[in-house]
Structure 1
């Protein structure tokens, strides 16, 4: 994709031993969809211990099994977690850190979309749904994992968002507003990491909150269903997964509180 705002570098991402993700414990929220599957595969390939969650237990099990089988010996676990319940999210974070001794990342891939033909036809029921899926889950995962990520020497909170949040269209008011709110929350998390490091007298940041921006996502099944479609400006889920892994390859101070564009800026 052309014209990135802040370049997303995937140079240096390594497979197996020696990479920045080797031995890292990474939680992935919303792991059962195409983007989640691609991310589980890429993180497992990089040597991470991957702790996946999704509301759909059957699809989650399939995604976890696929990542395990693709990378023999990789530790990939799955758990159905109600991320609309802050206590459940906190319990997930605590269990993860207790079991593996650390937590180095939370990749937020929980999604959802609702739109209308025009601004006047916006259904506020769409907002009520999207507020839960796109904002509340970000609030709960960030609050639940904050302490663990702050303790890590390579903590990363990674949010995937949509370019439409920066340039909303009439029929996407609820969706764009939800994404914009999630971005603002994530940037506030980044400021919390910065202030915590300063208070501790650290010379440099070890934890970061990062936003990956796409126009929309595309995967092989979509291309098969619509062989003549161009999907202009879309980001393939494998490219997204590569960008997620690449976040750990860059210093926390360089990426904290930034939007990394995987599509053209609107």
Structure 2
């Protein structure tokens, strides 16, 4: 493994970095695994769906021959499993330089009055609890790496909730607040110097990928972020100093 500081190489490439990706089984996860592997990172993926996870891991390995891409089925609704995954990753590879949180989900209603609180329960688990568990599990390893990144993907709707999206917007807002608290912890850990790691929020309106375009050939997808562009934005976070991206919301769609 490279002895240089990961993320500080030529072009911001990630040779020598070890990056974990939570919720790697979906289109955004698959794109992120490929981009990180292409950049030279060791990529450690997890998802609750073993079949979708295996597809993404195999595709990343195939696209970038020689890349180290592994997959673990992890239930991030259990803090112990998240901690075990973080500890296993750090022990096996010697460091953890990133945790990319891509666990997602959406539920909504036709109006505010029709909001089903069961939606809140489900989204709280998917969008908040998994952020809590991954951040608590990986905070120590990311700080020890000296140049770690915790990345949350959030939604523009968190800032401007609509009547039918109360549960979704509230969950995303809670996840953002939690991530910013982690960022403050990194800032304080740095004392008078730079933080040892950064927690950053990437904000999209929604995500789009090739299969979705094929399903809806007439759709414009205005303001949507392609999963490949999201993956590149993730990769670029190591090309900037931790103090520049820690505690920031980076908009990948026009800011309202």
When normalised by structure 1's length, the TM-score is 0.92
Q: Do the aligned residues in 1 keep the contact of 2:57 with 2:70 (CA within 8 Å)?
A: yes
Q: Could you tell me how far 1:125 is from its partner in structure 2?
A: 0.1
The match for 1:233 among 202, 223, 230 is 223
Report the Cα distance in structure 1 between the residues aligned to 2:238 and 2:196, rounded to whole angstroms. 10
Structure 1 counterpart of 2:199, from 193, 200, 209: 209
Gaps of 5+ in 2: 1-6
How far apart, CA to CA, are the structure 2 residues paired with 1:186 and 1:110?
Answer: 14
In structure 2, the partner of 1:179 is 172
User: What residue in structure 2 maps to residue 10 of structure 1?
Assistant: none
- Alignment partner for residue 93 of structure 2, among 74, 91, 100? 100
Report the Cα offset of residue 20 of structure 1: 4.0
Partner of 1:132: 125
Of 244, 248, 251, the residue aligned with 1:258 is: 248
Distance in 1 (CA, whole Å) between partners of 2:206 and 2:106 is 11
SS in 2 for 1:248: helix
TM alignment of 1:188-203, pairs within 5 A: 188-198=181-191, 203=193
> Could you tell me how far 1:204 is from its partner in structure 2?
1.7
The aligned residue for residue 169 of structure 1 is: 162
Q: Which residue of 2 aligns with 1:221?
A: 211
Secondary structure at the residue paired with 1:69? Answer: helix
Aligned to 1:72: 65
User: Cα distance 1:252–1:17, how it changes in 2: closer, same or farther (>3 A)?
Assistant: closer
1:23-78 residue CA offsets vs partner (Å, 9 max, x unmatched): 10000000010000000000000000000000000110110000001000100000
Residue matched to 2:45: 52
Structure 1: which 4+ aligned runs deviate by more than 4 Å?
none
Q: CA deviation at 1:19?
A: 3.8
Task: Provide the aligned length of Structure 1 versus Structure 2.
Answer: 249
Instruction: Report the TM-score when normalising by structure 2.
Output: 0.95
Aligned residues: CA RMSD:
1.3
Shift of 1:135: 0.0
Q: Output the CA distance in 2 between the equivalents of 1:159 and 1:18.
A: 23
Aligned partners of 1:117, 1:157: CA distance in 2, in Å? 34
How far off its partner does 1:206 sit?
3.0
Give the Cα–Cα distance (whole angstroms) in 1 for the partners of residues 166 and 38 of structure 2.
38
SS at the partner of 1:159? Answer: strand
* In 2: Cα distance, 1:163 partner to 1:109 partner: 15
Q: Does residue 141 of structure 1 match 2:131?
A: no
